[in-house]
Structure 1
Amino acid sequence: MQVVWGLAGILLLLGLTLAGAEPQRNGTDWCEHDKALHKRLDVVEKNIEQTVNYLEAEVSVLLSLIEASNSPLQLGAPTVDIFESGPTGVC
């Protein structure tokens, strides 16, 4: 039984020394750390929003180019099958 109490005491002392080894944050340190983290997250959010806006503009330009290059289909006009032309000699 004394071995169990001795082992428990050693584990308790080991836990206390390990807990004391961590640097304790004072009242303002965690607050400043939190503020800095939020500032960095705000910068990341702003960059993401700018990237999304840029990509939306690029997609709209590409869609308008695609729409402009496609001629409207005429009703009753014969359709052309591009695969019926036969081999072109290109492998």
Structure 2
Amino acid sequence: MKCPKCGSENVSIEMVQTGGKTKKHGNGIGGHMNNAARGLAAVSTLGMSNLVWKKSKGKEKSKFKNEKICLCQNCGNSWPIK
């Protein structure tokens, strides 16, 4: 493979992370009931139950996009592989 800028064959290929998305899913009915029960327990114990019982936060799922990139070792030019 040759560099389009200088014509050198001293080229390395790398996988580079170019983007990502995070989706957040809610608590659902069980999570909301848990948070409501946690709030009632906190009121009755003057907040001491919050030290042990944690809030339901839901779940997150991340997806990342990877891309192959060529990098010329002589001139530093980079370009994506199609």
**TM tier relative to shorter chain:** under 0.3
Higher relative contact order (CA 8 A, sep 6+): 2
| Structure with the bigger percentage of strand | 2
Q: TM-score, normalised by structure 1?
A: 0.25
| Structure with the bigger percentage of helix | 1
